[in-house]
Amino acid sequence: MQPRNMSMSGAVDLSAVKAAGEAKQKAEQARAHSAEGGGADAPSSLVIDVDEAGFEAEVLQRSAEVPVVIDFWAEWCEPCKQLSPVLERLTREYAGRVLLAKIDADNNQMLMQQFGVQGIPAVFAVVAGQALPLFQGAAPEAQIRETLDQLIQVSEERFGITGLQGGIAGAAEDAAEAPQAPEEPEDPALVAAQEALDTGDLNGAVQAYQNVLSGDPGNVEARVGLAMAELLGRVQGLDAQMVRKDAADRPGDVGAQLQAADLDMAGGHVEDAFGRLVETVKRTSGDDRETARIRLLELFEVIGAEDPRVVTARSALARVLF
């Protein structure tokens, strides 16, 4: 969950879509044409929905002017629902230094394959036509900010890309033009819990969500938030390489399997996490089996009961237990 130390060594090759040089050349031509008075206005929206048909124009070409952050999401994905609003808010706050492209994973499988996405939410960046993996899974706001700051620095130092001119004005236009829907009153306790989660205060988030649930045990948002905060707390500070080695070397060690499953889940590898714990339940008995079963149920809460992966894993768990 820590932000990456940015370099282009992990970039995804997007030559199958369009070469970086061609994208940059087109963008320069468009800017020159605009300067002569014949071009379209600069894009005013900093958060856009993108599909496969519009990927070249909306992402590759714009990436020659501004780092484009890509958010792979889906309607059924509960961590996506926590991460996406944070990305949108920060994008507008950065006021033209980054652009956010939201891609529906269910409807854009070709892009999922080209980027090598194995789980969502998954966040990438495209700079000068080259894709750079940022992180998978939900992350605290402080870590997302650090990642964006690194992205902006790399974009400027390596490619001379400094963002959209007039981005601040564009962001203001977005806010002015957005329809003002009546706001529902927010639960102050839930707001406090979410703020604690966004800022990385995991202990505070856990306590805040528990406070909500003490008065409203059926509150779905609090249950999901609590499960996410507890998950992030468990993986914080773990040595991923050591955890995975321990899990591979000691398949019968329930603690090692629980830690590996948590890392899988936090990294967006949902099926791997579920499969590991179902297999652990299968091979254990007594208290060890119950421990693994409870952890699996806790991870179900992170994703949500309606997620098809949860439905599949519940069936697998039932076959193992009964």
Cα–Cα distance measured from residue 21 to residue 43, given in angstroms and rounded to the nearest whole number: 21
What pLDDT is stored for residue 179 in this prediction? 58
In sequence order, what are the beta bridge partners of 133?
Answer: 124
Residue 3 lies in a domain: no
Answer yes or no: do 110 and 235 share one domain: no
Residue numbers of the domain that contains 162: 20-177
C-beta pairs of 205-212 under 8 Å, 24+ apart in sequence: 205/229, 206/230, 206/233, 212/187
Active site residues: 77, 80
Cα–Cα distance measured from residue 227 to residue 13, given in angstroms and rounded to the nearest whole number: 36
What pLDDT is stored for residue 14 in this prediction? 52
Helix ranges (H only) for the chain are: 20-35, 55, 78-94, 109-115, 141-159, 167-177, 188-198, 202-215, 220-235, 240-249, 254-266, 270-283, 286-303, 308-321
Residue 35 pLDDT > 70, yes or no? no
Answer yes or no: do 60 and 155 share one domain: yes
Tens digits of residue pLDDT in 257-297:
999 999 988 888 889 999 999 999 999 999 999 999 999 99
Structure tokens at 58: 């909306």
Residue 10 lies in a domain: no
Count up the domains in the chain and report the number. 2
Give the global pTM: 0.47
Answer yes or no: do 52 and 162 share one domain: yes
What pLDDT is stored for residue 5 in this prediction? 45
Answer yes or no: do 31 and 169 share one domain: yes
Of 19-23, 100-104, 165-169, 257-261, the one with minimum mean pLDDT is 19-23
Answer yes or no: do 299 and 162 share one domain: no
Which is it for the CA torsion 280, 283, 284, 285, positive or negative? positive
Tens digits of residue pLDDT in 50-72:
998 899 889 988 888 899 999 99
Number of Cβ atoms within 10 Å of the Cβ of 319:
10
Among 145, 177, 209, the domain-final residue is 177
Answer yes or no: do 172 and 194 share one domain: no
What pLDDT is stored for residue 321 in this prediction? 83
CATH code for position 136: 3.40.30.10
Q: What is the mean pLDDT of the chain?
A: 80
Answer yes or no: do 30 and 120 share one domain: yes
Cα–Cα distance measured from residue 312 to residue 101, given in angstroms and rounded to the nearest whole number: 30
Answer yes or no: do 167 and 34 share one domain: yes
Span 77-98, mean pLDDT? Answer: 92
Cα–Cα distance measured from residue 9 to residue 2, given in angstroms and rounded to the nearest whole number: 18
What pLDDT is stored for residue 171 in this prediction? 47
Among 177, 200, 227, the domain-final residue is 177
